[in-house]
Amino acid sequence: MAVTAAGLLLCGCANSASTGGAAQSTGASAHPAHRPASATDAGPGTTSGKPDLILDGQIDARPGEMVQMMLNGVSHARGGDAVTARSPAFSGPVRLRWDAGNYWAQAALGMTDKPGWYPLTVAVHGRTVARDRIHVIRSRRPAFDISASGDVTRPGERVSLEFDDLYPGERGTDFTVRSAALPGPVRLVHEDSMVFNPRDFEAWPELRPVLADGTYTFELYGPHGRRVAEKRLKVRASRPGDADYLGKTYGPEFFDPGKGYSGGTHNFRGIGAGRQVAVMLHDENPDPGEETRLTATSPAFTGVLHLRHDDTKGADGDDPRFLGTATVRSGLTPGRYPVTIVSHHGRVTNTEYLTVTAR
């Protein structure tokens, strides 16, 4: 709750405070949503020491969406359990609950709300302390969408599947997407942390890493196997001349995992048998999905080394880099041993030599 409060205070949401009469008003949850705040309609303003009402989700809201309310400037001793919001946009009065130093509530707009502006008042023990307005727009028909990162979707790329089912009369909660471009059926789920739209179902699967160029159909199925909608997505592997065809790889580099990566040099002149070595590869344009597929192999290692994408602060400003820690085999004869990483669907091979010394 406190984290969400801080987000609201920093986002520039509208706030208002005043006194006056109350209007009619919805059943609600006291759990705030975690969504970037929308632009809001500025209220009559606040003055020092007066209650401060902050809203989120109240502009261009569709029937059935959630509006979040936070009231500052009223102590728990003063408000008790008698802080209530009312609006004809809601199905009834909404009680704000005390949490983390503020009063909170989240309420659903009525599914039958007509487009327009609706007054909102917040009262403490029956006395109105703040006002604002809610802007409701028309309902939209259910919509199934696919989005990818760029103009061309690559095999192995992660895509976003979304079904916006917020519409009067819709009730199903079990939605699945099927496509030859996916490794298998993908179930769409509703994230409770994104509750401004209580009927938004999503998934972020990776396409199969090896796909023939072409246009693929994605079919959305609802409860009982009923097909609800379909979308098409064009997929094309990178070709010679594309910036990401061969990427721009360099490495692998070797360093002491206990000391960290110094950047730009092999800071291991030699490593004793039985010890550990960190391995890093840079790639300016990695293939989609290679964040989890790259491996380093060497006759000096006890096994195949699976590399991970380095998303730490230390990687900021650097080309995408992949690293892991391998164990050098005990009893290995001193000498130079190749370490090989194959990337870009086998089109790029990087090999460097690791010097192993006596234990």
pLDDT tens digits, one per residue of 292-315: 889 999 999 999 999 999 888 777
Q: Are residues 119 and 153 in the same domain?
A: no
Domain assignment present for 241: no
Which CATH number goes with the domain that contains 153?
2.60.40.1930
Domain assignment present for 110: yes
Q: Are residues 36 and 20 in the same domain?
A: yes
The DSSP line for 56-87 is: ES-SSBPTT-EEEEEEES--HHHHTT-EEEE-
Q: What percent of the chain is modeled with pLDDT above 90?
A: 61
The tally of CA atoms less than 13 A away on the side-chain side of residue 146 is: 26
Going by pLDDT thresholds of 50, 70 and 90, the confidence category of residue 42 is very low
Give the distance, in angstroms, between the CA of residue 349 and the centroid of all CA atoms in the same chain. 33
Q: Are residues 22 and 37 in the same domain?
A: yes
Query: pLDDT: is 174 or 24 the higher one?
Result: 174
Name, in order, each residue with C-beta under 8 angstroms of 7's C-beta and a sequence gap of 6 or more. 34, 37
Domain assignment present for 240: no
Which has the closest alpha carbon to 26: 102, 130, 128, 111? 111
Q: Are residues 206 and 95 in the same domain?
A: no
Q: Are residues 99 and 177 in the same domain?
A: no
CA distances from 148 to 113, 160, 213 (A): 34, 6, 16
pLDDT of residue 267: 58
pLDDT of residue 264: 57
Q: Which of 115, 136, 157 is the last residue of a domain?
A: 136
pLDDT at 321 over 80: yes
Q: Which of 202, 235, 268 is the last residue of a domain?
A: 235
Going by pLDDT thresholds of 50, 70 and 90, the confidence category of residue 33 is very low
pLDDT of residue 171: 85
Domain assignment present for 200: yes
The tally of CA atoms less than 13 A away on the side-chain side of residue 258 is: 3
Q: What's the whole-number mean pLDDT along residues 177-185?
A: 97
pLDDT of residue 313: 75
Query: pLDDT: is 166 or 42 the higher one?
Result: 166
Q: Are residues 203 and 253 in the same domain?
A: no
Beta bridge partners of 72: 52
Indicate the burial class of 303 (C-beta count within 10 angstroms; 0-12, 13-18, 19 or more): exposed
Domain assignment present for 243: no
Domain assignment present for 201: yes
pLDDT of residue 89: 97
**pLDDT (tens digit per residue) in 336-352:** 999 999 999 889 999 99
Q: Are residues 123 and 19 in the same domain?
A: yes
Q: Which of 173, 207, 235 is the last residue of a domain?
A: 235
Query: pLDDT: is 270 or 59 the higher one?
Result: 59
CA angle, residues 352, 356, 359, in degrees to nearest 5: 160
pLDDT of residue 47: 36
Q: What's the whole-number mean pLDDT along residues 234-246?
A: 89
Domain assignment present for 187: yes
Q: Are residues 20 and 120 in the same domain?
A: yes
Going by pLDDT thresholds of 50, 70 and 90, the confidence category of residue 316 is confident
pLDDT at 115 over 70: yes
| Range list of H helices, the chain | 2-11, 76-79
Q: Are residues 224 and 268 in the same domain?
A: no
pLDDT at 198 over 70: yes
pLDDT of residue 12: 37
Q: Are residues 132 and 147 in the same domain?
A: no
Query: pLDDT: is 280 or 3 the higher one?
Result: 280
Three-state DSSP class for residue 313: helix
pLDDT of residue 173: 86
For the chain, how many structural domains are there in total? 3
pLDDT of residue 22: 34
The tally of CA atoms less than 13 A away on the side-chain side of residue 197 is: 19
- Kindly report which listed range (19-23, 59-63, 202-206) carries the lowest average pLDDT score: 19-23
**pLDDT (tens digit per residue) in 263-274:** 655 556 688 999
Q: Are residues 12 and 126 in the same domain?
A: yes
Going by pLDDT thresholds of 50, 70 and 90, the confidence category of residue 139 is very high
pLDDT of residue 243: 82
pLDDT of residue 49: 63
pLDDT at 333 over 80: yes
pLDDT at 8 over 60: no
Query: pLDDT: is 123 or 290 the higher one?
Result: 123
Domain that holds residue 194: 143-235
Round the average pLDDT of the chain to a whole number and report it: 84
Q: Are residues 218 and 302 in the same domain?
A: no
Indicate the burial class of 329 (C-beta count within 10 angstroms; 0-12, 13-18, 19 or more): middle
- Residue 252: asked if its preceding bond is cis (omega within 30°), the reply is yes
Domain assignment present for 89: yes
pLDDT at 58 over 60: yes
